[in-house]
Amino acid sequence: VTEFLADNGKASGHAFGPGGELVGVGGALGALVMYDAGGKAVKVCDAVKGNDLVVLNTGDAYVTAPDGTKNEIVHVSPKGEK
């Protein structure tokens, strides 16, 4: 077993994308990110603060509101559009 990611930017939500890539949101990231093979975060969509994350097999992502005060789910398309 080897470590893949030492610092995830305090992301609170993680999921795997349709191609097996790790996707993260929340914490200090302030964005929806995809981690490359070396563990570097690549921004998919800026200004997305979230707590939990679901990624569909289509690549669409759904992110819950970050602090629980809003009843909000944000949709991010595979192209990174909110």
4-24 residue pLDDT tens: 888 888 888 999 999 999 999
pLDDT of residue 67: 66
pLDDT of residue 34: 93
Cα angle value 28/34/37 (rounded, 5°): 115
Summarised one tens digit per residue, pLDDT across range 27-54 is 778 899 999 888 888 999 988 888 899 9
pLDDT of residue 62: 96
Residue with tokens 């979230």: 50
Strand 13-16 and strand 22-25: the pairing is antiparallel
Q: State the DSSP code for 9.
A: T
Q: pLDDT: is 28 or 67 the higher one?
A: 28
pLDDT of residue 18: 94
Residue with tokens 């996707």: 23
